[in-house]
Amino acid sequence: MRCPFCGNIDTQVKDSRPAEDHVSIRRRRFCPACGGRFTTYERVQLRDLVVIKSSGKREDFDRDKLERSIRISMQKRPIEPERIDQMISGIVRRLESMGETDVGSKQIGEIVMEALARIDTVAYVRFASVYKNFQQADDFDKFVAELRPQTAGEPES
């Protein structure tokens, strides 16, 4: 695993342990070249998913992107990080077990909203309000940028 700090390929695993109810393995890694420490997660991937955007464009499913958007919508909410991890794993498992390799971006958004609604109303509202614009914009990076909460304080709608 390449060191994210210096690019050295020869990094060492210091510690491995199961995380999130044993659906992933957490590895603490150490880079002997720069002394950097980082963590990786190993997960089962049942199938390689492809996201079909509403424009018809195809894109490999990216768990990190999904995770980023969900974490942003949950910022400053009193929810344990493990709970969020579990929710994300649940969403990904649902997507993977739908029996199709191709998933619509719309479908993903709906599953996320469903999951968020069960956990936290504020996060749900944040996600849902941005998601509506996103469907027109069809641009995930823009979506993530719009989700970023304003620093001046949130309207609690």
Q: Is 91 in the site for Zn ion (CB under 5 A)?
A: no
Stretch that binds Zn ion, among 5-13, 50-58, 64-72, 112-120 (CB under 5 A): 5-13
Please say whether the beta carbons of 8 and 33 come within 8 A.
yes
Contact track, Zn ion, 32-71, x by CB under 5 A = -xx-x-----------------------------------
Are the C-beta atoms of residues 49 and 37 closer than 8 Å to each other?
Answer: no
Tell me: does residue 31 bind Zn ion (CB under 5 A): yes
What are 130's two structure tokens?
């941005």
8 binds Zn ion (CB under 5 A): yes
Span from 16-24, 26-34, 61-69, 110-118 in contact with Zn ion (CB under 5 A): 26-34
Q: Does 6 bind Zn ion (CB under 5 A)?
A: yes
The correct pick among 3, 72, 74, 84 for binding Zn ion (CB under 5 A) is: 3
d(C-alpha 147, C-alpha 127), whole Å: 7
d(CA 88, CA 85): 5
CA angle centred on 132, ends 70 and 73, rounded to 5°: 20
34 or 50, CB closer to Zn ion?
A: 34
Smallest gap, in angstroms, from Cβ of residue 2 to Zn ion? 9
List the interface residues with Zn ion, window 138-157 (CB under 5 A).
none
Buried b (16+ CB within 10 A) or exposed e, 101-111: eebebbbbbeb
Residues near 146 by beta carbon (within 8 Å), at least 6 away in sequence: 130, 133, 134
Q: Residues interacting with Zn ion, by CB under 5 A?
A: 3, 5-6, 8, 31, 33-34, 36
